[in-house]
């Protein structure tokens, strides 16, 4: 049963899109299992760069079928805009190539308005959400008041469900947050158009996947965000509202235990984060500017979804070991190693200090790391530009030492190293 799961091993933005794009070459189906259009997966093919938020990035390969699982929250406006963008780029997004789970929940403009109002009300305690309505949509789901893609199939009944959803959110917006109410009627008309467009795509993704796996087809589960943003296992409350970790793939696609073969943790060669929350290895000043880039290149460290500059820092091996455990990683894909070229010394966090206590593993999970100081090991850097390197043997000895140390400290073999945004800019270590 060849199911491979790709997860972010850090705070998201690890470069999952390009790893999915590579592995999708051998997959028959590629499925998103969590999150919504808060994600931003970038894939560069030749001259073209695709920035996808909702549709699995594996769909760029013409032989794959893209799926959106029940664990995803779907903003139909974003989905349709993305379908149109792909179609304009010559990529087939017919119902033969894209399937949506009937059990996935919808994000409405009311959820987005609520996200905005709640973030403003948090003041200094802001999470720094993407304002895409993610938290409120999952809140509706958990409180059993959500709207599902299945509901779109009965267009008349859906109009009433949508009206009462907007009425309810309006009461909260006006009474609790002093925010303007939404006018339901234009939204009812808008969603009716979405229902017509999306109906042919809605199916039982769980059943389709199980059947495909039983027939020996290869499925790639494409995680969004990252382990440390997981609602249960991340730096709570500075997390997203879904489960990006590998077990989330089974729940979010409706697959049983035992389906997974490889669990690939995509890990950036340094650490980044957008939004608020603890970050023990964060750096500032010139080094931060150097790691972040100017924003001129698609791969610079600015949010794909929000354009916000990302916080940057050294690779944190305490957190990576934790990610290996929580996900059951079988291998790592190390991205953006090329960015470290030219730095005289590379630091790697091997443990934390809290007063006179030293921790090499997390005592109470990652939400408790704010008071900790990183303890670093210094490794020598390298000057060579790595962009043209394609073989392990051609890597400078210092870069090899860095990779070997990451393997040693995480206990997970590195199987792939990326040295640039292009499909070909990888070193395969399998």
Q: Between residues 38 and 70, which has the closer beta carbon with respect to ligand IMP?
A: 38
Decide: helix, strand or coil at residue 154.
coil
Q: Which among 4, 13, 37, 151 is annotated as catalytic?
A: 13
Instruction: Give the shortest CB-13-to-ligand IMP separation in angstroms.
Output: 5
> Which among 358, 361, 280, 273 is positioned nearest to 324, based on CA atoms?
361
Instruction: Give the shortest CB-312-to-ligand IMP separation in angstroms.
Output: 13
**152: which 2 tokens?**
């779109």
Backbone phi, psi, residue 145, to 5°: -120, 15
**102: which 2 tokens?**
């009937």
Q: Which residue is nearest to ligand IMP (CB)?
A: 275
Instruction: Give the shortest CB-237-to-ligand IMP separation in angstroms.
Output: 9
Which residues of the chain form contacts with ligand IMP (CB under 6 A)?
A: 11-13, 38-40, 127-130, 132, 134-135, 224-225, 229, 238, 240-241, 274-275
167 in catalytic set = no
165 in catalytic set = no
> Which among 375, 305, 300, 377 is positioned nearest to 338, based on CA atoms?
300
Q: Which among 4, 37, 41, 115 is annotated as catalytic?
A: 41
**367: which 2 tokens?**
């939400």
d(CA 330, CA 222): 16
Instruction: Give the shortest CB-301-to-ligand IMP separation in angstroms.
Output: 11
Q: Between residues 241 and 330, which has the closer beta carbon with respect to ligand IMP?
A: 241
d(CA 136, CA 134): 6
Instruction: Give the shortest CB-187-to-ligand IMP separation in angstroms.
Output: 21
d(CA 382, CA 380): 7
Q: Which helix (H) or strand (E) holds 163?
A: helix 155-177
> Which among 93, 133, 100, 99 is positioned nearest to 116, based on CA atoms?
133
Q: Between residues 33 and 158, which has the closer beta carbon with respect to ligand IMP?
A: 33
Contacts 24+ apart (CB under 8 A), 396-405: 399/337, 399/340, 402/269, 402/337, 402/340, 402/346, 402/348, 403/334, 403/337, 405/348, 405/377, 405/379
Q: Between residues 210 and 271, which has the closer beta carbon with respect to ligand IMP?
A: 271
Instruction: Give the shortest CB-34-to-ligand IMP separation in angstroms.
Output: 10
Q: Between residues 227 and 241, which has the closer beta carbon with respect to ligand IMP?
A: 241
Q: Between residues 195 and 369, which has the closer beta carbon with respect to ligand IMP?
A: 369
Active site residues per annotation: 13, 41
């Amino acid at each position: 049963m060849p199911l491979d799961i790709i997860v972010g091993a850090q705070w998201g933005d690890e470069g999952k899109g390009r790893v999915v794009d590579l592995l999708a070459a051998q997959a028959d189906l590629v499925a998103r299992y969590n999150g919504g259009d808060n994600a931003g997966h970038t894939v560069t093919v030749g001259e073209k760069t695709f920035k996808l938020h909702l549709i699995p990035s594996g769909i760029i390969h013409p032989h794959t079928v893209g799926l959106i699982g029940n664990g995803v929250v779907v903003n139909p406006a974003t989905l349709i805009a993305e379908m149109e963008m792909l179609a304009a780029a010559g990529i087939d997004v017919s119902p033969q190539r894209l399937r949506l789970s009937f059990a996935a929940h919808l994000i409405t403009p009311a959820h987005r308005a609520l996200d905005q109002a709640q973030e403003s009300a948090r003041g200094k305690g802001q999470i720094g959400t993407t304002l895409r309505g993610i938290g409120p949509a999952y809140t509706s789901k958990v409180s059993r008041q959500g709207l599902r893609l299945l509901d779109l199939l009965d267009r008349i009944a859906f109009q009433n469900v949508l009206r009462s959803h907007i009425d309810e959110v309006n009461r909260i917006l006006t009474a609790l947050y002093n925010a303007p109410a939404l006018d339901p009627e234009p939204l009812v008309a808008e969603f009716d158009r979405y229902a017509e467009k999306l109906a042919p795509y809605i199916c039982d993704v769980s059943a389709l996947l199980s059947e495909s796996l039983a027939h020996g087809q290869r499925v790639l589960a494409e995680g969004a965000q990252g382990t440390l943003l997981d609602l249960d296992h991340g730096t709570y409350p500075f997390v997203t509202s879904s489960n990006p970790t590998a077990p989330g793939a089974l729940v979010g696609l409706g697959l049983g235990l035992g389906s997974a073969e490889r669990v690939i943790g995509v890990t950036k060669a340094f650490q980044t984060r957008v939004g608020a929350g603890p970050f023990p290895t964060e750096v500032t000043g010139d080094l931060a500017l150097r790691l972040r880039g100017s924003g001129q290149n698609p791969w610079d460290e600015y949010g794909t979804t929000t354009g916000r500059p990302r916080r940057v820092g050294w690779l944190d091996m305490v957190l990576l070991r934790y990610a290996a455990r929580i996900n059951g990683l079988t291998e790592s894909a190390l991205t953006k190693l090329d960015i470290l070229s030219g730095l005289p010394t590379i630091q790697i966090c091997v443990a934390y200090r809290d007063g006179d206590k030293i921790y090499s593993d997390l005592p109470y999970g990652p939400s408790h790391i704010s008071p900790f100081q990183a303890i670093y090991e210094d490794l020598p850097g390298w000057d060579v530009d790595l962009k043209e390197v394609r073989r392990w043997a051609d890597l400078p000895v210092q870069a090899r030492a860095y990779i070997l140390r990451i393997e040693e400290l995480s206990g997970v073999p590195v199987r792939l190293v990326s040295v640039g945004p292009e499909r070909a800019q990888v070193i395969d270590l399998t």
